[in-house]
Amino acid sequence: MSSYSDRARMTVESRRLDVFRDWLAARPAGGWSGTAAELTEELSAFLAEHPLRFGASIPAGAGLSQWLRVVEDVIGAAGLRLEFTRTKSERRITIAPATASPAPTPNKEPVQRHAARKPARSNGGSGVLDRFG
């Protein structure tokens, strides 16, 4: 049997998810992009007008980012994708249609993961490969 605090936590989380699903359904067609503080502000304003506002709360800052990673499947079920980007000046959260291409990251060039390797040469037919090319 679960304790009272476990049941209360489940109720709060259930209400938070319901409010978030409703916000996802009401968001603009192009999606949403901004900082964690901006998203907390927007979700809190939405929560203030929502019928399930009592007993629900929206995490702030890093807590919001962690919570979004936990509920990423809810975002995917709504036909959206979640993306976190970081520049020197800010960290952005983007919730956009899943079919849209990812937002370009400013001042960031693609990273080449594996350098092209030179093929090994044989050493005069002796069968030993020249490792130092």
pLDDT average, residue stretch 94-119: 60
CATH code of the domain occupying 4-98: 3.90.1150
Q: What angle do CA 109, 112, 114 make, to 5 degrees?
A: 170
Tokens of 76: 């995917």
Instruction: For the chain, give the mean pLDDT.
Output: 77
Pick the more confident residue, 33 or 125: 33
Q: What angle do CA 26, 30, 33 make, to 5 degrees?
A: 90
Helices (H), 1-133: 4-26, 36-49, 62-70, 72-77
d(CA 61, CA 43): 12
Tokens of 100: 């849209």
pTM score, whole prediction: 0.64
The pLDDT value given to residue 10: 77
pLDDT average, residue stretch 102-107: 53
For the cut 60, the answer to whether the pLDDT of residue 59 exceeds it is: yes
For the cut 60, the answer to whether the pLDDT of residue 102 exceeds it is: no
The pLDDT value given to residue 132: 55
Q: Where are the domains of the chain?
A: 4-98
Residue among 29, 40, 121 nearest 78 (CA): 29
For the cut 60, the answer to whether the pLDDT of residue 38 exceeds it is: yes
68 contacts 82 by C-beta, under 8 angstroms: yes
